Amino acid sequence: MQAKFFLVPVAAVACAQPALAEDSATFLSVEQAQRVLFPGATFRPDFFDLSEAQFNLIRDTAKITQWVRYIRAWRVSTGGWFLVDHVVGRDDMIKYGIGLTADGQVTGIEILECLPRYDGIRNPAWRRQVAGARRASYNPDAVRSISGATLSSEHVADGVKRVLVTYDLLLKNRR
């Protein structure tokens, strides 16, 4: 689920391009994030819905809230996976892309959308902390938080763990 709230000035509603009072910014499109994480590769969508059992299994194994009942994954032509995931920030939904190698190691993450005032999570040095993460050794609590975007950074770090668990449970042996 992804949900954002806006109050639009009444005068703006009539306009073609309403000026939204507080909007999450889109920093990268899915395609742009794919190109950054896997230069030169092509991507084949492999979207699927989670059964109730799979949904619960991911949540209980990762011990992290599972938000959505589907997986948005792409198979990468050069090997590996690209996924789009959502986590909740303080007052926004954060949408990010994550790359995995064929054997389930994080190649990197790219923030696609969040509120501009919490965009500290776009900082490359912060994001590099999760590069190379594997399920067996990754500890989201060891990822340093960003003051001013504490919840955003903690929840993205948690989301990475959930993605690693999802890879292990569902993607690794997916045909």
Partner 1 sequence: MERARPLLGTTVAIRVSGLPREEADRAIARGFAAIAEVHRLMSFHDAASDLSRLNRGASRAPVAVDRRTLTVLRHALAAAEASRGLFDPTVGGALAARGVLPRPADAPEPDPAATWRDVTIAGSRVRFGRPLWLDFGGIAKGHAVDAALAAMALPATAQAVVNAGGDLRVAGLAPELVQLGLDVPGGVPLVELADGALASSTGARRWGAAAPVHLGGAHGRPVGKRRFAAVAAPCCMTADWLTKPVLALGSRAVPLLRRFQAIAWLYSARGGWRVLGGD
Residues that bind partner 1 (CB under 8 A): 1-10, 13, 20-21, 45, 47-49, 65, 67-70, 72, 84, 88-91, 151
Tell me whether strands 43-45 and 70-76 are parallel, antiparallel or unpaired: antiparallel
Q: Are 120 and 148 in contact (CB under 8 A)?
A: yes
Nearer to partner 1, 24 or 133 (CB): 24
C-alpha 29, offset from chain centre: 12
Distance of closest approach, residue 9 Cβ to partner 1, in angstroms? 5
Nearer to partner 1, 84 or 143 (CB): 84
Distance of closest approach, residue 52 Cβ to partner 1, in angstroms? 11
Query: What is the per-residue DSSP string for 157-174?
Result: HHHHHHHHHHIIIIITT-
Question: How far is 64 from 28, CA to CA, in rounded Å?
Answer: 26
Distance of closest approach, residue 155 Cβ to partner 1, in angstroms? 8
Nearer to partner 1, 1 or 125 (CB): 1
Nearer to partner 1, 61 or 101 (CB): 61
Q: What are the Cα distances from residue 9, in Å, to 21, 46, 132?
A: 7, 40, 45
